[in-house]
Structures are given as C-alpha cells and as structure tokens.
C-alpha cells in the first residue's frame, strides 16, 4: 500500500511508520515541516488542505492507494476560540480531500468530542451532539467523507505516547516530564477518558485500510478513568513521587471545554477479523512500555 497521510504530527508520523513497517510506502503532508521524531525519516510534502488545487496536485503527484486524514488543528481550546478556522481546516478540508481522492479509500481519524459527554461512554450507534467547536468541525469532516461511500471514520479516545518534540505534548508526556522535574501538576478528577496508546491507533488504522473497511468505528482504551487517577498511575509506573499531582475541577482547568465523559467503546470491533490480536493496551502496561523511552530521554530540558 502507498498511503498519503494528511497530517505529520505524532499520530500521523506513527501511522506512516506502521505502513512502512508492514512493507508499504507512506508520504506525510502538512502545512509545516514535521520535527524529526514525527517524520521518522518518511517523505514529506507541503499541503494546505484548505486549497482545492493543492489537494488535487498532491494526490496526482503522490498517486496513493489510500489517504489517511489526521491533520489539525487539534488544540480543542484553540478551536473553541477560533471556530471558523477550525471548520475551514476540518470541514472544508474534508470536502477538498474527498474531491481529490476521487474514489480512493480514505481513513479519517475523528474524535470523542462529537459527543456531548452525557453518557458514561459512547458507541457507534449513539446520537452525536458535538461538545465544542472541534467536535463540530470533525463531525462535518466525517459526514463529508462518509458520503463518498469509500471512507472510514475512526473515532479515537485520548491518544497518548512519548512525544517530547510535539508542539503540544500529549497527556502522558506532559505528566511524565512534570513528575520527573518535581513540578506541581493540576489535573481534573471529574473529566473521564478511555486513553488509547498511539501505537494501537496506528495498528488499527493500517489494518482497517488494508481490509477495506468503511463506515464508523470507535477505538477507546480498555479502561475509563479520570485525568487525576491517570496521572497518579503514570507516576506509579515511572516510580515517581505523585505528591505534586493536585485534583482540580474540570471547569477550572485547561479541559473546561471538553465533555465530562470523553470515552468511547465499540459495538463493531469484535466482529472484524483484521483486528484480532490488536486489542488496545491498558494504561499501566503502556506506561511501563513507555517508561524506558522516557528514562532514556535524559538530555531534554524539563
């Protein structure tokens, strides 16, 4: 498979690396050149998805078998403050990519923020009601791409891994670095997630593309827990002091515009043979796996 990955951040780079590890080719694309960790030696092309011409040209030049759409902006607070720009990137960008794909398979990485968080966890058949501007923009992208009949929208819960080079390092990285430095960490104890390891998202994405799946699918981690509880579990896995982890209300935190329950589960996944053996790892198992990488990262400032 030759894949065009629209988005060159941590998740996009990991998906591209998974394609390559399985013997395929991947080209990353984004408005800005990715950092070394995100690119991982993959080819990169500049792309602004808001331009219909740019989308047509890159598909023509790369000639991919399939597209993976995982571009930003993904800063939910920024999207809440800039809803028009968020919709232009995700909603209008999806229209441009759908036209440029011209019938090719497309896998869109979507979000739990298409739900309002009133349920403890949401499945594929549950009614959507975006919690914020980011969720509304991603839902618009979903509908546009699913209307082509050749797309899969893979909604993922909170993605994490070791990503010290990211513009906005994910929750695991942020916690690990703060704990290592002995800094105080304020995290809500009333904001719930089903965190999923970045490697698991990449494994599912490529398996589903190769199987030709379309429609909607959810990927959440196997455990529902609060950010506060998760931060303490990260500290335990890394053998670090957690006394600096302070519980705060979600409404007084950086997560105020997120749904209370940003949690997903799937009604479909167990029926898909290509996902056999790809069960998402739990947060403790993943933290132990990531701890060696984090511990080796001794030269970075904290």
Report the Cα 109 to chain-centroid distance in Å.
7
How does pLDDT run across 119-140, given as a tens digit for each residue?
999 999 999 999 999 999 999 9
User: All domains of the chain, ordered by start, with CATH?
Assistant: 2-162+194-223+263-280 (3.40.50.720)
Buried b (16+ CB within 10 A) or exposed e, 264-296: bbbeebeebeebeebebbebeebbeebbeebee
Considering only CA atoms, which of 152, 113, 160 is closest in space to residue 269? 152
How does pLDDT run across 100-109, given as a tens digit for each residue?
999 999 999 9
How does pLDDT run across 185-204, given as a tens digit for each residue?
999 999 999 999 999 999 99
Overall residue count recorded for the chain in this entry: 302
Alpha-carbon distance 284 to 287, whole Å? 5
Mean pLDDT, to the nearest integer, of 250-260? Answer: 93
Mean pLDDT, to the nearest integer, of 84-103? Answer: 97
Instruction: Please give the DSSP secondary-structure letter assigned to residue 182.
Output: T
Residue 231 half-sphere exposure toward CB, CA atoms < 13 A? 28
Q: What is the mean pLDDT of the chain?
A: 94
**Per-residue pLDDT for 301 more than 90?**
no
**Per-residue pLDDT for 300 more than 60?**
no
Residue 302 confidence class, pLDDT cut points 50, 70, 90? very low
SS3 at position 208: helix
How does pLDDT run across 202-224, given as a tens digit for each residue?
999 999 999 999 999 999 999 99
As given in the structure block, the two tokens for residue 111 are 């979000």
> Which pTM value belongs to this model?
0.94
As given in the structure block, the two tokens for residue 118 are 């009133």
């Amino acid at each position: 498979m030759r894949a065009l990955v629209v988005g060159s951040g941590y998740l996009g780079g990991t998906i591209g690396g998974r394609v390559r590890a399985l013997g395929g080719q991947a080209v990353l694309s984004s408005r800005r050149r990715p950092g070394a960790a995100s690119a991982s030696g993959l080819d990169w092309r500049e792309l602004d998805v808001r331009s219909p011409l740019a989308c047509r040209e890159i598909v023509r030049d790369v000639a991919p078998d399939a597209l993976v759409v995982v571009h930003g902006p993904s800063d939910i607070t920024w999207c809440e403050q800039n809803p028009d720009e968020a919709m232009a990137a995700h909603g209008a960008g999806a229209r441009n990519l759908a036209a440029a794909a011209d019938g090719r398979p497309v896998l869109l990485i979507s979000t739990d923020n298409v739900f309002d968080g009133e349920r403890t966890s949401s499945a594929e058949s549950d009614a959507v009601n975006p919690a914020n501007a980011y969720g509304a923009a991603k839902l618009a992208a979903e509908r546009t791409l699913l209307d082509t009949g050749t797309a899969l929208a893979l909604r993922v819960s909170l993605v994490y891994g070791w990503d010290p080079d990211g513009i906005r390092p994910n929750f695991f990285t942020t916690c690990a670095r703060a704990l290592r430095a002995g800094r105080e960490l304020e995290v809500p104890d009333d904001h719930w997630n089903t965190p999923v390891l970045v490697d698991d998202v990449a494994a599912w994405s490529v398996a589903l593309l190769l199987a030709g799946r379309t429609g909607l699918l959810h990927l959440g981690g196997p455990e529902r827990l609060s950010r506060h509880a998760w931060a303490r579990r990260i500290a335990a896995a890394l053998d670090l002091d957690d006394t600096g982890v302070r519980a705060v209300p979600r409404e007084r935190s950086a997560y105020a515009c997120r749904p209370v329950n940003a949690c997903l589960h799937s009604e479909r996944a167990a029926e898909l043979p290509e996902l056999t053996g790809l069960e998402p790892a739990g947060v403790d198992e993943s933290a132990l796996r990531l701890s060696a990488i984090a511990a080796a990262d001794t030269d970075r400032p904290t």
